[in-house]
């Protein structure tokens, strides 16, 4: 590699993200340098950007990323330059005791500690935190691997079983992933969503029942669908605290 610097998007303060040039990190023996293809922008990133998060800054946001192996450390045996990969952001760090303060060139250690650093051209990751993709796997689709892992964890905790009636409230990206995962598990899924375009997408992707709660009685529909028993699981996939915690009727 002849380049020595890369462009990154660094969050310095609330509503303050700047493009900057920082040194391209060099992988240690057990690390890989990934050239980033795509990176999602998670709500946790947005909370840092708008000031709701208490994380220390400066910080390169982004942790849902895919790309290609650009360089490997001397001890890496499982991966080769050019491999298509997805990075697991849950990367333990045993050398950094806490997020550092200082100029942008110190962000590398911060990113490794927090599993961020995706809004740049390159990112260092442990070989153990990288999953190799098939040549046919879509890199944009693979960037949803981390959100999907969170969804599958939630599905496991909700004990989704074949034949269960699952209500998913909200059909944004996470709600749709919950809906699709529950369908794969053999459940019947009712989706509640007030935005017509999102409700249409849920229907297109296979929702058994799609409900606009501003126009229909969700609780009554669920009672009808369940023969009066109610839902086996209700998944709140919305960012509205009132919708998540307030009394909405018993499903």
Q: pLDDT at position 244, please?
A: 55
Distance CA 3, CA 172 (A): 39
All domains of the chain, ordered by start, with CATH?
5-142 (3.90.180.10), 151-245 (3.40.50.720)
**Does residue 165 register a pLDDT over 50?**
yes
Q: Which two structure tokens, joined as six digits, stand for 199? A: 């409700």
Percentage above 90 pLDDT, the chain: 69
How confident is the model over 39-98, as pLDDT tens digits? 998 888 888 889 888 788 888 999 999 999 999 999 999 999 999 999 988 765 545 445
Torsion of CA 106, 108, 111, 115, to 10 degrees: -160
How confident is the model over 142-154, as pLDDT tens digits? 999 999 999 999 9
Averaged pLDDT for residues 182-189: 97
Q: pLDDT at position 242, please?
A: 66
CB atoms closer than 10 angstroms to residue 29: 10
Taking the CA atoms of the chain, what radius of gyration do you get in angstroms? 21
Averaged pLDDT for residues 178-183: 97
CB atoms closer than 10 angstroms to residue 75: 11
How confident is the model over 118-161, as pLDDT tens digits? 999 999 999 988 999 999 999 999 999 999 999 999 999 999 99
- Would you place residue 243 in the very low, low, confident or very high pLDDT band (cuts 50, 70, 90)? low
CB atoms closer than 10 angstroms to residue 3: 9
Q: pLDDT at position 56, please?
A: 83
Q: How far is CA 175 from CA 72, 106, 119, 139, in A?
A: 37, 36, 24, 21
**Does residue 112 register a pLDDT over 70?**
no
Q: Which two structure tokens, joined as six digits, stand for 106? A: 């110190």
- Would you place residue 241 in the very low, low, confident or very high pLDDT band (cuts 50, 70, 90)? low
**DSSP, residue by residue, the chain:** ----EEEEEEEEETTEEEEEEEEPP---TTEEEEEEEEEE--HHHHHHHTT-S---SSEE---EEEEEEEEE-TT--S--TT-EEEE-S----SS-SS---SSGGGHHHHHHHHT---SBSEEEEEGGGEEEPPTTS-HHHHTTHHHHHHHHHHHHHTT--TT-EEEEE--SHHHHHHHHHHHHTT-EEEEE-SSHHHHHHHHHTT-SEEE-TTTS-HHHHHHHHTTTS--SEEEE--S-HHHHHS-----
- Would you place residue 117 in the very low, low, confident or very high pLDDT band (cuts 50, 70, 90)? confident
Distance CA 210, CA 193 (A): 8
Q: pLDDT at position 92, please?
A: 53
Cβ–Cβ under 8 Å, residues 153 and 98: no
Query: Which residues, listed in sequence order, are joined to residue 68 by a DSSP beta bridge?
Result: 35, 84
**Residue 20: closest CA among 106, 110, 114, 86:** 106
Q: Which two structure tokens, joined as six digits, stand for 104? A: 């942008």
């Amino acid at each position: 590699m002849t380049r020595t610097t890369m462009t990154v998007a660094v969050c310095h303060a609330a509503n303050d993200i700047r493009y900057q040039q920082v040194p391209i990190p060099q992988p240690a023996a057990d690390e890989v340098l990934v050239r980033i293809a795509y990176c999602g922008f998670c709500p946790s990133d947005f909370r840092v950007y708008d000031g709701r998060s208490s994380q220390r800054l400066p910080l390169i946001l982004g942790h849902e990323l895919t790309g290609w192996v650009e360089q490997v450390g001397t001890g890496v045996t499982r991966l080769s330059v050019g491999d298509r990969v997805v990075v697991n952001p849950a990367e333990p760090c045993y050398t950094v005791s806490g997020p550092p303060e200082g100029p942008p060139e110190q962000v590398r250690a911060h990113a490794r500690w927090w599993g961020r650093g995706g809004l740049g051209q390159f990112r260092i990751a442990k070989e153990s935190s990288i999953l190799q993709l098939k040549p046919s796997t879509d890199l944009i689709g693979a960037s949803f691997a981390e959100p999907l892992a969170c969804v599958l964890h939630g599905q496991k905790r909700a004990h989704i079983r074949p034949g269960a009636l699952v209500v998913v409230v909200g059909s944004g990206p996470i709600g749709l992933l919950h809906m699709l995962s529950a369908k794969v598990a053999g459940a019947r899924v009712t989706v509640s969503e007030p935005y017509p375009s999102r409700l249409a997408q849920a229907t297109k992707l296979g929702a058994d029942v799609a409900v606009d709660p501003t126009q229909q009685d969700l609780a009554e529909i669920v009672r009808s669908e369940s023969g009066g028993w109610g839902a086996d699981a209700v998944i709140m996939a919305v960012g509205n605290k009132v919708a998540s915690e307030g009394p909405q009727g018993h499903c």
